[in-house]
Amino acid sequence: MLKGPQPTGRPPGWLKEEKIMTTLETAPGTPVAEPTPQEQGAALLGQIAGYMAVRTVEMGIRSGLIRFVADNPGSTANEIADRMDLDDLYVSVWCRGGFGAGILDRQGDGFVLAPHMATLLLDETSPAFMGGLFPLVRQPEMFDRFAANLDSGARLWWDDTSPDWIDSVKGASKPFNTRLIPGGLSQIEGLAERLHLGGRIVDTACGAGQGLIKLAQSFPQCDIVGVDGDQHSIDQARAEVRDAGLADRVTLVCSPLEDMVLDTPAALIINNLSMHECRDIDAVTERIKAALEPGGWFVISDFPFPSTDEGLRTVPGRVMSGVQFFEAQIDDQLLPRVAYDLLLDKHGFTGLGSFPMTPMHAVTYARTPG
């Protein structure tokens, strides 16, 4: 069984050996004037305000308050409280917090969602959906467990995480799948034409199966295989595939990718938000290469972790640095996008290409020699 304490296969310092992680090695830049205590204090206060906003939004999603305001624009706090059977004072406090956080606007005496918040926070089918991030960052697996194990460094693996964690990951990963399939894939020259002819598509580390469903719906002429090392995720994927009426075209395999063996060569293998997690990234890349037909595509969709100090101080860099708290617990770290160029090149893939989908989402692709 693939568990946390197993050796990673990737030697510590893999990134540094490959000379791609400039984050810790960046030469000091031009000296800048030292900020005042007031400026530093204001910066810290901004962080606290962000935390308040995260808690307000997360509570609003979980309680249904944001959904209610979307469906009943202009409702006053008292009307919301009455109709949802909640406490008047608490709802008015939440509404004011939501207004301060910029997710609510005022309309007369009541409130409406601020522009685009319905899409960003509630519409799970949108490529812009961000509502899944708020429950994710509140799960104990993100920070609490890390803090509790700061001294021991005790690791965990996916089968040690809670069903709530798996659910939250599903919510947060959803827009990555939505953007990748089929829009992102359609940006790869020749791939759509090849898939039009039918064949096999494999989703490696398929998790709870949302990529599988998008693949099956987008490429009805192909058969789809999902592989994941976590039995709970595979069980959930199986249920979702069945509920979507796609069980006849989607096969599920519970296996570490390091041991993956597939019978039929695939035209396309994708990996969404998981390649950085592989215990032995070289072994997985070899398995993937072996499972592809000649000229088959391997597409890696992942967070592009900043490779410079400047990148770490950007908003996306700061969010990805937060994700690293969970990644550390499963004994990995997000990788700079260029790491995948080096990896694919090292394993003899050809036709390397990449493109950003958002500041927190990049696609890297290559083919096996034809």
Ligand X SMILES: C[S@@+](CC[C@H](N)C(=O)[O-])C[C@H]1O[C@@H](n2cnc3c(N)ncnc32)[C@H](O)[C@@H]1O
Burial of 1 (0-12, 13-18, 19+ CB in 10 A): exposed
CA 59 to the chain's CA centroid: 21
CB of 60 or CB of 304, closer to ligand X: 304
Which of 236, 271, 228 lies closest to 2 in space, CA to CA? 228
β-strand pairing of 292-302 with 266-272: parallel
Shortest distance in whole angstroms from residue 365 CB to ligand X = 16
| Smallest distance, ligand X to C-beta of residue 201, A | 13
CB of 129 to ligand X, least distance (A): 13
Which residues contact ligand X by CB under 6 A? 158, 169-170, 173, 176-177, 205-208, 210-211, 228-230, 233, 256-258, 272-274, 277-279
Query: Shortest gap between Cβ of 347 and ligand X (angstroms)?
Result: 16
Q: Dig out the tokens for 1 from the structure.
A: 């069984």
What's the CA gap between 357 and 127, in Å, rounded?
10
Give the nearest residue (CB) to ligand X.
207
Here the tokens at position 243 are 């509920």
- Rounded Cα distance between 363 and 298, Å, is 10
Nearer to ligand X, 111 or 365 (CB): 365
Name the residue nearer to ligand X (CB basis): 223 or 332.
332
Which is closer to ligand X, CB of 145 or CB of 170? Answer: 170
Closest to ligand X by CB, 141 vs 277, is 277
Using alpha carbons, list the distances in angstroms from residue 233 to 32, 34, 147, 181.
Answer: 49, 49, 26, 20
3-class DSSP state for residue 57? helix
Q: Is 160 helix (H, G, I), strand (E, B) or coil?
A: helix
CB of 16: closest distance to ligand X in angstroms? 22
Cβ atoms of 15 and 335 closer than 8 Å: yes
Nearest distance, CB of residue 119 and ligand X, angstroms: 20
Least distance between ligand X and beta carbon 10 (Å): 11
Nearer to ligand X by C-beta: 174 or 249? 174
Contacts of 222 (CB under 8 A, 6+ apart): 195, 198, 199, 200, 201, 215, 216, 249, 267
Of the pair 183, 190, the CB lying nearest ligand X is at 183
